[in-house]
Each structure stands twice: as structure tokens, then as C-alpha cells.
Structure 1
Amino acid sequence: MNWINNLVRPKIRNLLQKRDVPENLWIKCPETGEMVFHRDLEANQWVVPKSGVHMRIPGRKRLELFFDDGAFELVKTPEVTQDPLKFRDEKRYTDRLRDARAKTGQEDAVLVATGALKGMPMTAAVQDFAFMGGSLGMAAGEAVLAGMEAAVARKTPFVMFAASGGARMQEGILSLMQMPRTTVGVQMLREAGLPYIVVLTNPTTGGVTASYAMLGDVHMAEPGALIGFAGPRVIEQTIREKLPEGFQRSEYLHDHGMVDMVVHRHDLPETVARVCALLMKTPVTAPEPAELEDTETAAPETDAEVATPSSEDAAEGSKASSAA
């Protein structure tokens, strides 16, 4: 009976035992319900291939996709008091911060980096919605200001990727104070004559929309992003009316003049580089000399060359006019 217990039963047990499969292998599209393999979604920059829905993207990954060759250098941001109000609801604020840091690998919701975009020096800041909803607290406000100061020091454009649910309630009035402070940072950029580009992603709401997210020189938005101060459900409950279809979405706001352009995620680096080059009056990456030589040799004769007479034709024309 030992061979049954030692060999047969373990094999049957292994066949019947359920294998642990990670839950995030397949990701569901929020609009169509389409199931997308996580590697295919990541390869497409977190854009659902068929429906074109722009999913949320981690902060570091967005920086890698934005800068040339994915190379960037993080800007050190000032440290702030962790829990100035000793706040506690269902959990302590310090516990929430610890969980968010373990989940995202970031110190707070905003990452600031410098690098090159199409050969142009650039400074960018990214809000990660996975870190407590991208909420604006003291650390996030300091990071945004540090990014703007770095742009002024390096004389580069500043690009802000906004994604937030608003101010961080665990910090109370100290969180709301970041709204005017970041506004002062925007004014620093304008006094230095540097472009400030805002890319609105899904979602951008609350105090972020009421401050630096709506003070850019050019406002871009990803398709389908929710942008506003209060959410549509709150507005409907307040005014007791049904809102128009697509209200507070990128396309609706573009049609009503609140957003300058709606840009697909794949086209963002090129579009931002072109706009910054125009505002800075600097050319984007120039073509190689070999390309210029090919265009010169293949160029057809211009109208001026065809219409210009030779020296002999001019002499004959002058003799005929004198004889007449």
C-alpha cells in the first residue's frame, strides 16, 4: 500500500490542486468590457487597442515614454512633515502614506524629472493617480514648485502631466495652501519667458484644476479624460438636471474652448516638442546632412532659373531693340 500513498495519491493531488494565477494578467476595458492581456496593453502604452481607451499609467512609465530613449534624471524634492495634523479616520494618515509608498514605490504623488525631448532640454512633472488618488498635499506642492524652479534654473520648458482627485483632506488647510503657492511658481515661469505646457489626463479634478492645471500656456488633454472641479454626479445632484452627454470630457471641453487640443498618447512627445519649439523659437531636431544633400541634388529647376535669360540672349535682345 506504500506505493499508493507515496506515488499515486501525490500525483492525483497535484492534478486536482488549483494553480495560483495572478489577478492582473488580463485587464478589462472600462467602456467596452474587452479583456486585454497586460503585456499587450503595456506595449501599446496602456491604450486599449480596439476601443482606444486611455488607461491610467504609472508615473515612471510615463516619464520613460515621454523622454528620448526613456532616459531621464529625477529632481530631488524637499522633504515635508509627514503628518502635520495627526489625522486619523478609518486609518492613520501615516499608515495610508506607508501603504501608498509600498504600492507605487514613490515618496509621494508627484515625480519631477529632467531629460531631452526630440533633442530639446525639458523638465516635466507627473502626478500618479495610484498614490492616494494623485491628491495635492504639501509634498506634492513642494515637488511641483521644485520642478518649476528647476525649469527656470535650466531655462527649459516645463510640462505638467496632471492627474488628481483634488486636495488631500488629511492635510486640511495646509493642502489648500498649495494652490496659491503653485500659482506663484507658474508666474515664475512666465517672468522667465519659459513655456508651461499642461497635459490633462484622466481624471483631473478638484483643487488641481482650480490652480496650476488650468494656468498653462497650452492645454492638451488625452482622449476621454474627465476634467473639472466637481464631479458630474455632484453637479447633477446640485442643479437637479441631466448633464449633456460627454460633459466634462476632453472632447466636450475642446469644443467649448477650455482645452486647446486633444492629443493621443502616442503623439504626445512629438506634439509637445513641436509646441515648445514654436514658443521657444528654436528648431526641433534638424535632419542629417546626408538627407539635405539628397534633397539638393534631386531638386527641380525653379521658376526663377527657367525664366532668367542667358547672357547671349540678353545681348541679342539689346541689338534688336537698338535696330528698331
Structure 2
Amino acid sequence: MLRDIFSKNKKTYATIPVPSATDDVPVGIMTKCPNCKKIMFTREIEQNMKICLHCDYHFPMNAKERLSSILDENSFAEMDKELVTVNPLGFPEYVEKVEKDRRKMKMNEAVVTGTGKIEEKPVVIAVMDSFFRMGSMGSVVGEKITRAIEKADELHLPFIIFTASGGARMQEGVLSLMQMAKTSAALKRFSDHGGLIITVMTHPTTGGVSASFASLGDFNLAEPGALIGFAGKRVIEQTIHEELPEDFQTAEFQLKHGQLDAVIHRKEMRKKISLILELHHIGGVTE
């Protein structure tokens, strides 16, 4: 059934020709695709949902861009925005680095949570942002995700999370690792109450995040080409003394080996998630 839902209806996405870059183009006007090496106007990539116009490479999205691409316009209501990180272990310059990202990204932590609607269907959503401390999971990230899960349970709404993370935040030590258990336990309670969990793994989803809530969805989805795994490829190769496949830990590799339910193009993501919500007849009210 699941394979039928996500059968590949391949489409050809239009390629918009752009002029070649010149040496005197201002910084930020042009962007080079890390996959095909083509140079394009940054604005045109952004208008194409941050997808390469030539090779379909999916550039990382920040939380604001992701929410805009998935939710109905003006439907998002943020939760727990006031939660901020402290420095429980007195790690040198930790607070200063977090504050720098806070000013740069205009958000308090590496995840944004709240309620919203997808094609008029209410949901609770969490979106991790790899541009904020590489989406690393500290105490505040774990707490915000846990509270979002509990809000979904309270409102009898589906819980959707877009993951993007380098793993647990080392500056918080074991307190960061504890978030793996806390978020997983919250998802288990939510699932026991009949809640629907949809996880979407984006590039990259690694470390403690991949080993906890990112892999516990009723539907585990991913974007094309996303890096998904626990330890890095080189670390594993050095440990087992074997050469791993070229596509090891990509979303496509994980799908092939049964770790994902589907790999979905960004332009199809909203429609596919809406279809899942419709099939499961999820209803409820938002505050």
C-alpha cells in the first residue's frame, strides 16, 4: 500500500537558463551548486524552492523557508519561542557562540515548533535548522520538541518533524544525550494514544538525532540526497576496515535497505504529507 502511495510519477522540472557569472558580480548574487558545479543567480534558486535548476540538488533550507514551503499561508503559530540556552557545564565561549547564531538567524534555538495547517488540515510541527549551531541537539532543542509532541497529544493532532542536525551538542555533555531518551519517550506515549508521527529527514540528519526521534515516525520520509546516519562514513570504514558503497548513508541508500518509507522531492512534499493526513482522517482544533 505504502509503495503505491509513493509510486514514482517522474516529472521534468523546467530548467531556467541563466547567464554565466563574471568576476565582478557582488558576493551573494550568484550561487555555485555543490553537486553539478553550475553557477546560477541565488534569487532564481530561492524561487525554485532552493533546488538546483540544472541537477535537482536540494540546497539546505532554514526553518523559516521550510515552514513557508509546507504550511498554509499565515497558519503558523509558534510555541515556546522564549526558551533559551544556558551554559550548564560552564563550557568556554558556549553562550557567546549561541548568541551569535541567535542574532544571525533571528531565532532562539536550532528548532522552531508550533501549530499550523497543511491544506486546511491542522498539525503540530517542529522544524530543525542546520544553520543554527549545525542543528545540534541541546537541552532546549530536546525540551521544545518534547513540548511539541505533548501539545500534539493534548490537541489530538498529528506531529510532523523535519530533522536537520549534526547530532547531540557536546557543550552540554550528558544533558544533551538525555534528550534522546526524553523525546523518544514522549513519542512513545503519543503513539500509544493513537497519535500520527511523520518524520522528514533532510540533509544532514546524523548522530543522536538520527538514533532517536528522527527514526521513530509512523512514516519515515526523506528528501533526495540527504545524508542520514549515526557515525560518519570514514569513521565506520576505519572501524570495520572495509570500503563502503559510494552512496552509503544517502536517503536513497536508506530507502533501498528498508530504513525509509519514501524519498520525496521537495516540490512534492506538501502534497504527499497532505495525502497521508487525509488517509488517516486526522482531525482536531488548534488554539
Q: Shorter-chain-normalised TM-score: which range?
A: 0.7 to 0.9
Q: How far, CA to CA, are the matches of 1:245 and 1:140 in structure 2? A: 32
The structure-2 alpha-carbon separation of the partners of 1:78 and 1:129, relative to structure 1 and needing over 3 Å to count, comes to same
Return the letter of the residue paired with 2:86: Q
Unaligned runs of 5+ in 2: 1-23
1:152 lines up with 2:156 in the alignment: no
* More divergent stretch after superposition (196-205 vs 60-69): 60-69
8 Å CA contact 2:85–2:109 kept in 1: the answer is: no
TM-score (norm 2): 0.87
Distance in 2 (CA, whole Å) between partners of 1:93 and 1:190 is 35
Q: In the alignment, what sits opposite 1:36?
A: 40
Report the CA distance between 1:279 and its aligned residue.
Answer: 2.4
Q: What is aligned with 1:244? A: 245
- Separation in structure 1 between the aligned mates of residue 261 and residue 85 of structure 2, nearest angstrom: 37
SS in 1 for 2:202: strand
Look up the match of 2:202. 201
Check conservation: 2:224, 2:252, Cα contact below 8 A. yes
Would the alpha carbon gap of residues 241 and 252 (structure 1) be closer, same or farther in structure 2, given more than 3 Å must change? same
Q: Which amino acid aligns with 2:114?
A: A
* Residue aligned with 2:109, SS: coil
Q: Distance in 2 between matches of 1:234 and 1:102?
A: 34
Q: Number of matched residues?
A: 261
Counterpart residue identity of residue 204, structure 1: T
Q: Name the counterpart of 1:175.
A: 176
Distance 1:87 1:274, change over 3 A: same
Q: CA deviation at 1:77?
A: 5.0
Q: What does residue range 153-302 of structure 1 map to in structure 2 within 5 Å? A: 153-280=154-281
Does the 8 A contact of 1:123 with 1:147 survive in 2? yes
Partner secondary structure for residue 31 of structure 1: coil
Partner-residue secondary structure (3-state), 2:260 = coil
Residue 198 of structure 1 aligns to a residue in which SS?
strand
Which residue of structure 2 aligns with residue 143 of structure 1? 144
Quote the Cα distance in structure 1 between the aligned partners of 2:281 and 2:195: 7
1:136 counterpart letter in structure 2: M
Q: Which residue of 1 aligns with 2:28?
A: 24
Deviations 1:124-156 (A, max 9, x none): 100000001100000100110111111112211
Secondary structure of the residue that 2:228 maps to in structure 1? coil
Extract structure 1 runs of 4+ deviating beyond 4 A: none
Query: Which one has a larger percent helix, Structure 1 or Structure 2?
Result: 1
Letter matched to residue 146 of structure 1:
R
Alignment of 1:113-124 (within 5 A): 113-124=114-125
C-alpha displacement of 1:33: 0.6
Compute the displacement of 1:103 (Å). 1.6
Scaled by the length of structure 1, what TM-score is found?
0.77
Which secondary structure does the structure 1 equivalent of 2:102 belong to?
helix
* TM-aligned CA distance change 1:81 to 1:108, over 3 Å: closer
Corresponding position of 1:320: none
- Cα offsets for 1:22-76 (capped at 9, x unmatched): 4221111111111121110111111111100001011011101111125311112
**For the residues of structure 1 that align with 2:123 and 2:252, how far apart are their CA atoms?**
27
Distance in 1 of aligned mates of 2:170 and 2:215:
21
Partners of 2:158 and 2:282 within 8 A in 1: no
Any gaps of 5 or more consecutive residues in structure 1?
Answer: 1-19, 283-324
Question: Per the alignment, in what secondary structure is the counterpart of residue 69 of structure 1?
Answer: coil
Partner of 2:76: 72
Cross-structure match for 1:96: 97
Deviates more, 1:235-244 or 1:124-133: 235-244
Task: Check whether the contact 1:109–1:129 (CA below 8 A) recurs between aligned residues.
Answer: yes
Identity across matched positions, percent: 41
Tell me which amino acid in the other structure corresponds to 1:48: C
1:56 alignment counterpart: 60
How many angstroms does 1:79 deviate by?
3.0
Deviations 1:140-181 (A, max 9, x none): 001101111111122110101000000000000100010000
- Whether the 8 Å contact between 1:63 and 1:70 is mirrored in structure 2 is no
Judging changes above 3 Å, is the alpha-carbon distance between structure 1 residues 275 and 129 closer, same or farther for their aligned structure 2 residues?
same
